[in-house]
Structure 1
Amino acid sequence: MQNIISARNLTLAYEHEEVIIKNANVDIKTNDFVFITGKSGSGKSTLLKSFYAEISPRAGELNVCLTSLNNIGKSDLNKLRQRIGIIFQNYRLINEWSVEKNVMLPLIIKGVSYSVCKKQAAKLLKHVNMLHKAHKYPLELSGGEQQRVAMARALAHNPNLLLCDEPTGNLDEYSSDVIWSLLMSAREYLGTSIVVVTHHIPLNLRIPYRHFHIEEGSINEIV
């Protein structure tokens, strides 16, 4: 099966700062469901940021969706991000936009027609059980509802890869269970590869998954 993420001797660090990830070798395959764990400050979010090119490799090689992220140009970066969906812990919804328009955002950026944007938004909001709140605004929603909208937005452009940064970190148990169920269905029915940064892997997950742990800058797979 093809790798959707491949890292070879990957070293990551912010400008003028100490190395966070060093000499990492990671292969994540198409349709994998992957958890990345580690202590606070271990580099989990930094690694995730490298996967969507918010931080560039200091050394080594990184390929995501068959695209090299070493010195990637703006045009290739835009194409890459059209193949990736991102779910942030703090949702990052646009408060001045309706729920419907927030979900439409990736398609608007892609230049898709308004009618198609609207149809796709309705389909995804129905999938996350938020269609009845399509014309509400983010600040009118609970945290769990905002995260479900964020998930619908992340899936709007049918990404090959879904990156999730602590997607249930601020949610209660019920809302967390809803998010995990939606992530599992995205993998099962859409064939999306899922990578989740988290402090805790849910105990009741009913699918096979892979687990990478970061400690002192090293990434090791737990088998």
Structure 2
Amino acid sequence: MQQIISARNLTLAYERNEVVINSANLDIFANDFVFITGKSGSGKSTLLKSFYGEITPSAGDLNICMTSLVDIDTKKLSELRQRIGIIFQNYRLINEWSVERNVMLPLIIKGIAQSVCKKQVAKLLKHVNMLHKADKYPMELSGGEQQRVAMARALAHNPNLLLCDEPTGNLDEYSSDVIWSLLKSAREFLGTTIVVVTHHIPPTFRIPYRHFSIENGGVHEIA
């Protein structure tokens, strides 16, 4: 089974005396759906940031999509990030760009032809039921709609790994249910490995998943 994330004795710290994650060991495989939970300040988002290279390991080994993040150079990190999609709690859409252009961003970065970009974006916007708002701007959308656009953008380049930081934290129950449904379908139909940082796992979540909990700097899988 293909390893997507592998951590061995991974230690993450912002300062030398401020260890957040201490000697963590975990393996996440292709097509896994993973929840990472823990109290506020436990290090959930810190761990997620390490998966896309925003935070560098202080000690230990971390491999993402067969790429080591220990002493990784800028070029290799850029290449790795083209295999990762990220969904943030606060959406991080570009307010001056239309919905269509926001979703197109990862494809623009990869240098994909405009005609191909438009076809891919139309397909994704249809999937998240936002094609009818392709010409709108983020500030004209509800929070749930903005998060669906953010999801379409994160999936635009067919990533191997989708990282989600509290993707439903700012949404009402209906919008949250839509996002969970879309995440399930991304795993089912695209084969994307999905890692979600959240305070709690939705009780209505029915598909098989793995659950890691962070406590006192330790990362433990809950059977």
Task: Identify the TM-score tier after normalising by the shorter chain.
Answer: over 0.9
Instruction: Say how many residue pairs are matched.
Output: 223
Partner SS, residue 201 of structure 1: coil
The percentage of aligned residue pairs carrying the same residue is: 81
2:115 paired with 1:119: no
1:160 is matched with: 160
Partner SS, residue 86 of structure 2: strand
1:6 is matched with: 6
Amino acid at match of 1:79: E
2:122 paired with 1:146: no
Q: Post-superposition, which runs of at least 4 consecutive aligned residues in structure 1 deviate over 6 A?
A: none
Aligned CA-pair RMSD: 0.7
CA distance in structure 1 between the aligned counterparts of 2:17 and 2:37, rounded to whole angstroms: 22
CA distance in structure 1 between the aligned counterparts of 2:72 and 2:187, rounded to whole angstroms: 28
Question: 1:128-207 residue pairs with structure 2 within 5 A?
Answer: 128-207=128-207
Could you tell me which runs of 5 or more consecutive residues in structure 1 were left unpaired when the two chains were aligned.
none
Partner SS, residue 18 of structure 2: coil
> Residues 18-63 of structure 1: CA distance to partner in whole angstroms, max 9, x if unpaired?
0000000010011000000000000000000000000000000000
2:30 paired with 1:30: yes
Amino acid at match of 1:135: D
2:57 is matched with: 57
Report the CA distance between 1:70 and its aligned residue. Answer: 0.2
CA distance in structure 2 between the aligned counterparts of 1:191 and 1:218, rounded to whole angstroms: 29
Q: Which moved more, 1:30-39 or 1:199-208?
A: 199-208
Report the CA distance between 1:16 and its aligned residue. Answer: 4.6
Report the CA distance between 1:206 and its aligned residue. Answer: 1.9
> Residues 97-133 of structure 1: CA distance to partner in whole angstroms, max 9, x if unpaired?
0000000000000000111111111000000000000
2:79 is matched with: 79
Report the CA distance between 1:17 and its aligned residue. Answer: 5.0
Report the CA distance between 1:15 and its aligned residue. Answer: 3.8
CA distance in structure 2 between the aligned counterparts of 1:15 and 1:67, rounded to whole angstroms: 25
> Residues 140-195 of structure 1: CA distance to partner in whole angstroms, max 9, x if unpaired?
00000000000000000000000000000000000000000000000000000000
Q: Which moved more, 1:71-80 or 1:177-186?
A: 71-80
Could you tell me which runs of 5 or more consecutive residues in structure 2 were left unpaired when the two chains were aligned.
none
